[in-house]
């Protein structure tokens, strides 16, 4: 068995204009001071990483690794959540998702998509140079406006959508394969890969591509009322990244899963700081230990109530307390009788 690595922290939600949140070196020192051992890097802010340069220059990649190591940390994974979203965008969301792209490709969906695809390919190459084995992203969504079948979906719409999604992602998956890196889709509302069933549909369309893996985040399953523990039993062989994020779902007579168009603080389902929600992390960490998950446990902080710095401070200790240092021997070894084939046959009457 393997002991997973951690605690790590995803920096995206903490980046700001004031020190120490405005540069990689300072944020690494901040994270180390809270007890973290690794940082997951977003890839859209050049103050933290120039993705193209990291893909093309081993010297620059080594400098990034050195910056983290100077603070006593490792880089856990890179994240292209925003770029991955832009690989597949339904026209209904063109205007809103343009904000995720550089100005020169806004208002031009085909150019925006080409930029996003290239970003993912850079991420594969940069991950390899950084010595990483997993990468975090979103799948994007062509079908999300039709997630609820009213009016009735046109015949073949879902099949066509997944065929196109697979067509767009196949070259990216192949690039990750060439670089020896697992591409881990965060299963998430708003994505075409938003539960196990949709992930399986995608896998079928990419011929079970070995690099089409999973980022496990139970918070999104709390909000969907999905069995997030059985999910590990089903998909543990594909889980290669882990966001430790809490959530709660408290339906009322007025509101349920869809949230009534309310802000996060007023929704029946909302994300919470670690330990403040309903996720059974003891069971999750036990299952991941059982299935030999050897990757990182990375805090993703999102909470409508608590200050982010408090969430980060508490999260480091929370993850540390939940990591199971796996045993190297069976608990009943003290009573072992040794191996004797002749005796075994005698016991069986053979």
How does pLDDT run along the chain (350 residues), one tens digit per residue? Answer: 889 999 999 999 999 999 999 999 999 999 999 999 999 999 999 999 999 999 999 999 999 999 999 999 999 999 999 999 999 999 999 999 999 999 999 999 999 999 999 999 999 999 999 999 999 999 999 999 999 999 999 999 999 999 999 999 999 999 999 999 999 999 999 999 999 999 999 999 999 999 999 999 999 999 999 999 999 999 999 999 999 999 999 999 999 999 999 999 999 999 999 999 999 999 999 999 999 999 999 999 999 999 999 999 999 999 999 999 998 877 777 667 777 888 888 889 98
For the stretch 106-127, pLDDT in tens is 999 999 999 999 999 999 999 9
Main-chain phi, psi angles of 261, to 5 degrees? 60, 25
CA distance 189 to 219: 11
> Parallel, antiparallel, or unpaired: how do β-strands 246-249 and 269-272 relate?
antiparallel
Distance CA 15, CA 21 (A): 5
CB neighbour class for 109 (10 Å; exposed up to 12, middle 13-18, buried from 19): middle
Percent of the chain with pLDDT over 70: 99
Spatial separation of the C-alpha atoms in residues 136 and 242, rounded to whole Å: 9
Residue-wise pLDDT for 156-194, tens only, equals 999 999 999 999 999 999 999 999 999 999 999 999 999
According to the model, what pLDDT value does residue 338 have? 73
Asked if residue 204 lies in contact with residue 228, where contact means CB atoms within 8 angstroms, the answer is no
The pLDDT value given to residue 11: 98
Interatomic CA distance for residues 41 and 155, integer angstroms: 41
What does each C-alpha distance from 3 to 97, 181, 267, 285, 287 come to in angstroms? 39, 21, 36, 10, 12
* pLDDT at residue 334, as a whole number: 67
pTM score, whole prediction: 0.96
Tokens, residue 327: 């045993």
| Token pair recorded at residue 313 | 């401070």
Of the candidates 269, 262, 256, the one whose C-alpha atom is nearest the C-alpha of residue 222 is: 269
- For strands 182-186 and 38-42, give the pairing: unpaired
pLDDT reported for residue 204 = 98
pLDDT of residue 284: 98
* SS3 of residue 256 by DSSP: coil
Cis peptide leading into 217, omega within 30 of 0? no
Question: What CATH topology corresponds to 5-347?
Answer: TIM Barrel (3.20.20)
Kindly give the residue spans of alpha helices, DSSP state H, lying in 35-146. 51-56, 58-70, 81-85, 94-97, 109-130
Burial class (CB in 10 A: 0-12, 13-18, 19+), 39: buried
As separate numbers, helices (DSSP H) first and strands (DSSP E) second, the chain gives 13, 10
The full DSSP string for 156-180 is: THHHHHHHHHHHHHHHHHHHHHHTT
**What local confidence, expressed as pLDDT, does residue 335 receive?**
67
């Amino acid at each position: 068995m393997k002991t997973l690595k951690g605690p790590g922290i995803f920096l995206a939600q903490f980046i700001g204009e004031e020190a120490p949140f405005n540069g990689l070196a300072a944020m690494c020192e901040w994270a180390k001071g809270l007890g973290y051992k690794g940082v997951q890097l977003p890839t859209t802010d050049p103050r933290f990483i120039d993705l193209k340069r990291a893909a093309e220059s081993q010297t620059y990649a080594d400098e990034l690794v050195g910056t983290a190591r100077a603070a006593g940390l490792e880089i856990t994974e890179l994240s292209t959540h925003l770029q991955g979203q832009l690989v597949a965008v339904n026209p209904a969301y063109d205007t809103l998702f343009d904000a995720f792209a550089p100005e020169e490709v806004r208002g031009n969906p085909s150019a925006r998509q080409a930029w996003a695809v290239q970003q993912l390919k850079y991420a594969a190459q940069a991950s390899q140079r950084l010595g990483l084995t997993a990468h975090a992203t979103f799948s994007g969504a062509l079908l999300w406006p039709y997630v609820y079948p009213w009016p009735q979906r046109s015949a073949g719409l879902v099949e066509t959508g997944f065929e196109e999604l697979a067509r767009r992602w196949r070259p990216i998956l192949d690039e990750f394969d060439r670089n020896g890196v697992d591409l881990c889709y965060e299963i998430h509302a708003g994505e075409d890969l938003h539960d196990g069933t949709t992930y399986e549909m995608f896998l079928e369309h990419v011929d079970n591509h070995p690099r089409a893996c999973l980022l496990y985040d139970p918070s999104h399953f709390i909000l969907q009322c999905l069995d997030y523990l059985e999910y590990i039993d089903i998909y543990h062989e594909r889980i290669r990244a882990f966001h430790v994020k809490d959530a709660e779902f408290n339906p009322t007579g007025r509101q349920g899963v869809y949230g009534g168009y309310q802000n996060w603080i007023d929704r029946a389902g909302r994300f919470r700081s670690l330990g403040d929600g309903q996720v059974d992390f003891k069971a999750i960490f036990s299952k991941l230990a059982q299935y030999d998950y050897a990757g990182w446990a990375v805090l993703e902080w999102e909470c409508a109530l608590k200050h982010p710095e408090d969430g980060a401070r508490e999260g480091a200790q929370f993850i540390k307390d939940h990591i199971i240092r796996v045993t190297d021997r069976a608990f009943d070894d003290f009573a072992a009788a040794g191996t004797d084939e002749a005796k075994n046959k005698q016991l069986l009457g053979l």
